[in-house]
Structure 1
Amino acid sequence: MITDIEQLPDHAVLQADICIVGAGAAGLLIAREFLGTATQVILLESGGLGAEDATQALSAGEVSEGAFRGLQAGRSRVLGGTTTLWGGQCIPLDPIDLAERPWVPFSGWPIGPDELAPFYERAKQHLRIEQDEYDQPVWERFGLGSLVLDRAKLQAVHGVFIRQPDLGRRFREEIRAADNVRVLLHANVRSIETDASGVQVSRVAFCSLGGRRGSVAARRVVLCAGAIENARLLLLSDSKHPNGLGNDRDLVGRFLQDHPCGRTATIETTDPRRLQDRFNLLYGKRANYLPKLALSEAVQREQKVLNCVARLEYEYEADSGMQAVRDLMEAARGRRWPKGLGGTLARLGRGSPALAGDAWRVLAKGLSPAPRPRRIHLEVFSEQTPQPDSRVVLGRGTDALGLRKVLVDWRLDDLTWRTFGVFSRTVRDEFARLGLGEVRLLDWLDAEVPPRSAVVDSYHPAGTTRMARHAAGGVVDINSQVFGVQGLYVTGSSVFPTSGAANPTFTIAAMALRLAARLKSEIATRNVVTVQQWPARAEATGAG
């Protein structure tokens, strides 16, 4: 069922076996695993069914030393979370991403690829990804001749774009019909509380922007609110732990990572369509695909750099019909009208003859439109070195609920910067060998101190509640339970020790489903007596 906090009595105390915080990909998939079971689940969501300015403003905070776009633009407080902003691209991590690499400080996951593999398969079922989507080179599916890359240097990889990325919209009706899973909208978590001993989670306190308060009493609480908010909620929960829950060793919020992204080169070619056919969105019957270039494991080990991928970005004349299409699509993603709508529509009309031919490419061949580009860019997405000083902390300001905002201090190190250069030069040399064009590297790659403005974050924050085998190395154990707090779990990209170069949502889904399996096992083996169906009237108490 789906309920709004305003429908509850003030100071209501709800009972649940599991309380989940955050209705994004992780929270929704865990809840979905319990649909139709005897386990009672309450899922707290800060937002409503659609975007709201006042609610979104709760994500505001400060940024130290440079930009971090993802603090607000990369987060969405709404049923579905950031899947409402997500393009739907799914890519698994590479085995090397989980390995301990001597040249990468703080690298190495406490679980390996074999542990994650079955949950990637389970994630495919939830996300409706066919089992063989990653088995065949994507170029072959569309009748395109494969490029004979030197696989010791570059790998051809592809992302799979699912058809319905907004999971809040996709799963809404089945959750609304559920008897044992309850979503509570506009429930902003104020703190996670423990029992008197401080070692067992006991309840979650929440409130609305309208002033209504309540709590969920539960012996299992799962934080699924994203890498920034997960850290913030642990730090805010300081009633019995002065430094915040799970923060006895000052690790909560540290090791903030993202995927630094920047243009590193332009590509000059007399045959741009050869590149456009192979390195642009491909439209399939089951899903869409985006071919990319990835740095081989051999080069990573030889050059002692991080994982890295790139796509080609095509720039068109500002007054072209293709650019008008892009402007309209960008506006649609942002749920707004484009600036200068009249001019955009006029450009679309002038370009309609060429666009008709491009439409035929899409419908008949599954290829992207291919008007001659003004310029082709190499856009690189790098893994980032985990650093303890790259972090999320509580700032001095407070939000509309009176809770302290975050201060984000996102830092890049020399290894991250060097990775951009090694990868871009590898692409340059391989394109020259294959006759694909001249890759002209941008000057900033040779700068002794690259300008921070050369890269931006990709809205992929990770690492702030990292998983480790021992409490000295992280915030959660291999089962995603917070060290020192029984029954308190965290999942999502915040538990990633390293984030590789792949978009994170597919791995977020796999890790969430792994935790769901653990919770099911715990409940079954301990024969927990669950609460009965939802009370007709919530108990009103002075808890607040």
Structure 2
Amino acid sequence: MSATLGTNNTSDVATDEQDRTPTQQADICVVGAGPAGALIGYQLAKQDLDVVILEAGPEFSDADRLTQQEQHIRPGMSDPWEMGGQRDAYTTTGRGYPLNAARVKGVGGSTLHWQGMVMRLHERDFEMNTRYDVGVDWPIDYADLRSYYQAAESALGVAGAIDNPYAPPRETSYPLPPFPPSHSDSIFAPACETLGIDMHSVPNARNSERYDGRAACQGYGTCKPVCPSGAKYTAESHVQKARAAGARVIDRAPVQELVHDDAGEIINHAVYLTPDGTEYHQSAQRFVLACGGVENARLLLLSQSKQYPDGLANTSGAVGRFFTDHLFAGVGGRLDQPTRQNHVGFNTSECHQFYDDTSPVEGVKLEFLNYAGPSPVNEALTADTWGDELLEQLQTSYGNHIAVGGLIEQLPHASNRITLNDSETDEHGNPVPHIEWSIDDRTSRAIRRANDIQRRILETLGASIEWTVGPDATGPAYHQMGTTRMGTNPNKSVVDADCRSHELSNLWIIGSSVFPTGGAMNPTLTIAALSLRAADAIFATL
């Protein structure tokens, strides 16, 4: 990693010789160096506070991004972000949740491999119980986050246009101009116009022009899982800014538990291990837990004590419960014309038209995919033919695929949860997370509704439909939410409106785990906005 992604300066990359001893007299200890931890670490470090960030995974070098891209596109190559193995073990029941299919333990967290779409939640998302008598209300509303959303868009570098008539109100334009519509967007447009379906641009956390020391998008098309140019935002950017402001970042330092004082009122220290197996205790005045929807809950459950026999900060019993995600719905097929599939590695158009209506209550966000169908690179690398025969094969299989995808809201249920599996342990002997996850009938109906709309679009285009991802075949979007939900009632929630623990006065929990409901919008911008808001709240306590 370097101060400005897209360069080859690796002087700050952590090595095995890194000093991993605790910071003395730390003001703030942040657990996790993903987008939440990186943003809050930087915000507090630049206030001249002594900040230490503990990250379970390694720190990757941006000089290796082209090699990682090659790992991704070559058949049979390994995960470019090193997921898997005993360190990352988990178990699952119910529908089954493929946790390791899309997560990263390392500096940058999920932003290392994310798609980069950044939408604000709608106003209705904060008031689901009041409006529709389902789920719960957030203890804050859209107005409370509005200025922080703007600050988050500037921090991440969002490219977008104000052309979405269904979006919540905003105060200014995006910091970067939007990306132009893809070729396939122009194919979708006439059909959507015929059907009365509105298309509008997608706000993306990738540079449409140079911004914040990072290069403009070079069009590699491999945004997920790796951006070789550094145009797509990763939390590495704010980790480096935090370092420049004086913060320490200790990678490969998995926290084993948080230990409180005798009274059970504050956290005294975080217990972490180093690659050589040494155990250290990091003390601090304030602690921030920012390691994702699964690991936030798991660490609290691992931190049991006499005062908290069911897990730290878990008197409510809500830690680990109400695990939610977004579901994918999609319909795809072929056209008798070129679609230039995979020409762009990210969505440039979407539709929020069916999001705020109330039939069904669950939100539906449509996405016009420009990366449907097989990649010509993968097709060529896995083919058994050569020369003209291979060219003919590629021309037959590539170039005319088209698809409409979408995210579907899942309402929270206490039965969907993260617990500890005492019968299986990780490399440190700790119980692995166990995920119980299923999809209810309401969500299935919302997926069918999305499929109906998607199918009408492709049929209007005259496409031959070849596949449908519906209720029986759907999978998660890997947006883990809800496991340490915020609320005003300490008997029903884990943190308050400022993301501060109801029970431990110096503990804040940040990230999508605090979402009471998840909407159907990609969560990272809301994670960033909540992190900036929590940073202000923490600073106000000093």
Q: How does the TM-score come out when normalised to structure 1?
A: 0.75
Higher mean Cα deviation, 231-240 or 162-171?
Answer: 162-171
Which of the numbers 458, 461, 476 marks the counterpart of 1:436?
A: 461
C-alpha deviations, 1:24-62, integer Å up to 9, x for none? 111111112134432110000112223775986422110
The Cα shift of 1:199 comes to 1.2
Higher mean Cα deviation, 100-109 or 235-244?
Answer: 100-109
Give the 5 Å matches for 1:4-403. Answer: 7-8=18-19, 12=22, 14-50=24-60, 53=82, 57-69=86-98, 71-101=99-129, 103=132, 105-129=134-158, 133-136=160-163, 149=193, 156=200, 158-163=202-207, 164=230, 165=232, 167-171=234-238, 173-178=240-245, 180-239=246-305, 240-263=307-330, 265-266=331-332, 276=339, 290-297=348-355, 300-312=357-369, 315-316=372-373, 323-325=375-377, 340=382, 350=391, 372-373=399-400, 375-396=401-422, 397-403=424-430
Distance 1:301 1:467 in 2: 25
Amino acid at match of 1:376: I
C-alpha deviations, 1:149-195, integer Å up to 9, x for none? 599876645242414435354345544444x3110111110111111
Q: Indicate how the Cα distance of structure 1 residues 85 and 109 shifts in structure 2: closer, same or farther if over 3 A, else same.
A: same
Amino acid at match of 2:416: S
Amino acid at match of 1:121: Q
Distance 2:384 2:327 in 1: 34
The Cα shift of 1:486 comes to 0.6
Local SS of the residue matching 1:106:
coil
Distance 1:207 1:199 in 2: 25
Higher mean Cα deviation, 183-192 or 158-167?
Answer: 158-167
Higher mean Cα deviation, 31-40 or 181-190?
Answer: 31-40
Q: Which residue of 1 aligns with 2:69?
A: none
Distance 2:150 2:237 in 1: 19
The Cα shift of 1:93 comes to 1.6
C-alpha deviations, 1:197-217, integer Å up to 9, x for none? 101122111112421111111
Q: Indicate how the Cα distance of structure 1 residues 210 and 382 shifts in structure 2: closer, same or farther if over 3 A, else same.
A: same
Amino acid at match of 1:126: A
Does 1 or 2 have the higher relative contact order (CA < 8 Å, sep 6+)?
1
Distance 1:503 1:444 in 2: 19
Amino acid at match of 1:423: A
The Cα shift of 1:108 comes to 2.2
Check whether the contact 1:22–1:223 (CA below 8 A) recurs between aligned residues. yes
Q: Which residue of 1 aligns with 2:480?
A: 461
The Cα shift of 1:426 comes to 3.6
Unaligned runs of at least 5 residues, structure 1: 329-337, 355-369, 524-544
Structure showing greater Rg: 1
Distance 1:248 1:115 in 2: 27
The Cα shift of 1:415 comes to 0.6
Task: Report percent identity of matched pairs.
Answer: 27
Q: Which residue of 2 aligns with 1:539?
A: none
Unaligned runs of at least 5 residues, structure 2: 1-11, 61-79, 165-177, 208-229
Q: Indicate how the Cα distance of structure 1 residues 36 and 425 shifts in structure 2: closer, same or farther if over 3 A, else same.
A: closer
Q: Quick check: 1:471 aligned with 2:490?
A: yes
Check whether the contact 2:364–2:406 (CA below 8 A) recurs between aligned residues. no
Q: RMSD of the TM alignment (CA)? A: 3.7
Distance 2:81 2:364 in 1: 37
Check whether the contact 1:461–1:494 (CA below 8 A) recurs between aligned residues. yes
Distance 2:317 2:256 in 1: 21
Amino acid at match of 1:306: G
Distance 1:19 1:29 in 2: 13
Check whether the contact 1:260–1:382 (CA below 8 A) recurs between aligned residues. yes
C-alpha deviations, 1:77-133, integer Å up to 9, x for none? 111111111132222222222222454632322211111111111112211225xx2
Local SS of the residue matching 2:146:
helix
Distance 2:195 2:502 in 1: 42
Q: Which structure has more strand as a fraction of its residues?
A: 1
Check whether the contact 1:18–1:219 (CA below 8 A) recurs between aligned residues. yes
Distance 1:488 1:113 in 2: 24
Q: Which structure has more helix as a fraction of its residues?
A: 1
Q: Quick check: 1:517 aligned with 2:511?
A: no
Distance 1:312 1:217 in 2: 47
Local SS of the residue matching 2:528:
helix
Q: How does the TM-score come out when normalised to structure 2?
A: 0.76
Distance 1:209 1:402 in 2: 15
Amino acid at match of 1:61: Y
Q: Indicate how the Cα distance of structure 1 residues 496 and 416 shifts in structure 2: closer, same or farther if over 3 A, else same.
A: same
Check whether the contact 2:343–2:371 (CA below 8 A) recurs between aligned residues. no
C-alpha deviations, 1:429-466, integer Å up to 9, x for none? 5677xx43469697886xxxx53xx0111121111111
The Cα shift of 1:395 comes to 0.6
Local SS of the residue matching 2:202:
strand
